[in-house]
Amino acid sequence: MAAVTRLSLLVLLLVGALVAPAFAQDGERIRGQLTAEGEGVPDVTITVSLDGEPVGTGVSDAEGEWFVDLPGPATYEVTIDVDTLPEGVQLRNPDRTTLEIRVGEGATATALFALGEREEVGPILLQRIAQNTVNGLKFGLIIGMTAIGLSLIFGTTGLINFAHGDMVSMGAFIAFFFNAVLGLHLILSALIAVIVGAVIAGAIDRGIWHPLRRRRVGLISMLVVSIGLAFVIRHVILFYFGGSRRPYRDYTLQTGIELGPIRLQPVEMWVMGLSVVILIAVALMLTRTKLGKGMRAVADNRDLAESSGINVERVVLSVWILGGGLATIGGIFLGMIESVDYLMGFRLLLLMFAGVILGGLGTAYGAMLGSLLVGLVSELSTVWFSSQVKYVWALAVLIIILLVRPQGLLGQKERIG
């Protein structure tokens, strides 16, 4: 059976890739992030010692992130220099200036210093609302870009692609490979990655989903297969690149520009601007081009589209290619404003789900709208609540929308059930 051969080929490729990794994880590292009230605390010195002997120091950056590379696996003492903490910020537990951290082979361990609260005053609150609104839009644009593919794939095939988040990580890491490993400039790496990501997404549709659709495999089985695929992609990335967070080589460590009450790095502005441009381009493509109209027609009513002469399988393939490309761009953008790690896509997936369900499953515009709202909800929640639970609010929105309006904001009622 052709389908079987093709699938086994794909599997062989994956396994083959496993046996010969191009690039493995660097040495051991201890990292951490110092935050007070949801904001990074910069310029704090941290010293790591082994049996009393210092082996390195790190200084926290604008996000409060710091790291120290280590000579090997061992149990280290990590000490924070409380004198370098800014005015008004203290350790929540003043006795815990030194932590003992065990670091396994090749591992990155995290050292957590909990910092205490600063007093909040009126103007700062407004400023934080403004800043977090912008952050929320930035984040929401990225969620939206990745969620369009998820929503269109659902619309055209009925499949919720649980591997979509890992396609985002995959895209980010393809760019990382060209950028940080091969040394190409990030823009060039990103362009290559988008093409590779789109092609892989197309290959996944042809190699796995197309044969399964033809065999009329049930929805529930397909969902389980997509979870298996997610697992494979995620852990192949872990295998090649390790578990730590890594930055791209370009556009890092930029200083923020003050724009009234908010502060943004140039790279963040570029990411936001480009995201808006890309989303508008996708919207135009969906409404103006023949292919885009075909996609919406199939998402709207597959049988009707088929009987009116649209080649449904070709449209589905295009949706996967488009979705793969957009997922890659989203992953790269996320990597540029934060960093890349193998779980980044999975974390995003849950927010994508919240976004597409909020907006209406299967609709492209709903995915954009819902994702923006999800970005705003999770970022704005950090003004009042701990940033550690900011995703919880977004996921709570998901459950509430299912209770009150399961078809989502832009969805049609009869599509459900």
Partner 1 sequence: MGTVIFFDALRTAIGPTAAAYALLAVGLNMHFGYTGLLNFGQVGFMLVGAYGVAITVATFGGPLWLGVLVGIAGAVVLALILGIPTLRLRADYLAITTIAAAEILRFITRTSGSEPVTGGVFGLRQFAGGFYALNPIPPGSYLGPLSISHGRLWTMIVGWGLVAVFTLLLWALMRSPWGRIIRSIREDEDAARSLGKNVFYYKMQSLVLGGVIGAVGGAVFAVSLQTVQPDTFLPQVTFFAFAILILGGTATWIGPIIGALIFWFVIAGMQSALRRLSDAGQLPEFFGSQAVGATTLTFVGLLLMLLMIFRPQGMFGNKREMQLDVK
Residues that bind partner 1 (CB under 8 A): 4, 7, 11, 14-15, 18, 21, 24-25, 104-107, 112, 114, 160, 162, 208, 212, 216-221, 223-225, 227-236, 238-239, 242-243, 346, 350, 353-354, 357, 386, 388-389, 391-392, 395-396, 398-399, 402-403, 406, 416-417
The CB-of-199 to partner 1 minimum distance in angstroms stands at: 20
Task: Please tell me the chain's helix, strand, coil percentages from 3-state DSSP, rounded to the nearest 5.
Answer: 60, 15, 25
The CB-of-106 to partner 1 minimum distance in angstroms stands at: 4
- Give the residue with the Cβ less far from partner 1, 28 or 77: 28
Closest CA to 348 of 365, 326, 363: 326
- Give the residue with the Cβ less far from partner 1, 93 or 97: 93
Non-local (6+) Cβ contacts of 288 within 8 A are none
User: Cα(170)–Cα(164) distance, rounded to whole angstroms?
Assistant: 10
- Give the residue with the Cβ less far from partner 1, 127 or 387: 387
- Give the residue with the Cβ less far from partner 1, 241 or 292: 241
- Give the residue with the Cβ less far from partner 1, 190 or 353: 353
- Give the residue with the Cβ less far from partner 1, 280 or 416: 416
- Give the residue with the Cβ less far from partner 1, 1 or 121: 1
Backbone angles phi, psi at 210, to 5 degrees: -60, -50
For the chain, how big is the Rg over CA atoms in Å? Answer: 23
The CB-of-344 to partner 1 minimum distance in angstroms stands at: 14
Closest CA to 344 of 164, 199, 109: 164
DSSP-derived letter for residue 207 is: I
Q: Which two tokens stand for residue 307?
A: 């009987």
The CB-of-373 to partner 1 minimum distance in angstroms stands at: 16
Checking phi first, is residue 227 left (phi over 0); if not, alpha (psi -120 to 50) or beta? alpha
The CB-of-216 to partner 1 minimum distance in angstroms stands at: 6
User: Cα(329)–Cα(323) distance, rounded to whole angstroms?
Assistant: 10
The CB-of-223 to partner 1 minimum distance in angstroms stands at: 6
The CB-of-18 to partner 1 minimum distance in angstroms stands at: 6
**In 212-370, beta strands by DSSP E:** 257-259, 262-264
Letter string b/e over residues 208-220, b meaning 16 or more CB atoms within 10 A of that residue's CB: bbbbbbeeeeeee
The CB-of-342 to partner 1 minimum distance in angstroms stands at: 9
- Give the residue with the Cβ less far from partner 1, 346 or 365: 346
SS3 185: coil
Letter string b/e over residues 223-238, b meaning 16 or more CB atoms within 10 A of that residue's CB: eebbeebbebbbebbe
Backbone angles phi, psi at 406, to 5 degrees: -60, -20
- Give the residue with the Cβ less far from partner 1, 160 or 329: 160
**In 34-96, beta strands by DSSP E:** 35-36, 39-40, 45-50, 53-59, 65-69, 74-80
SS3 339: coil
The DSSP bridge partners found for residue 66 are 32
The CB-of-85 to partner 1 minimum distance in angstroms stands at: 18
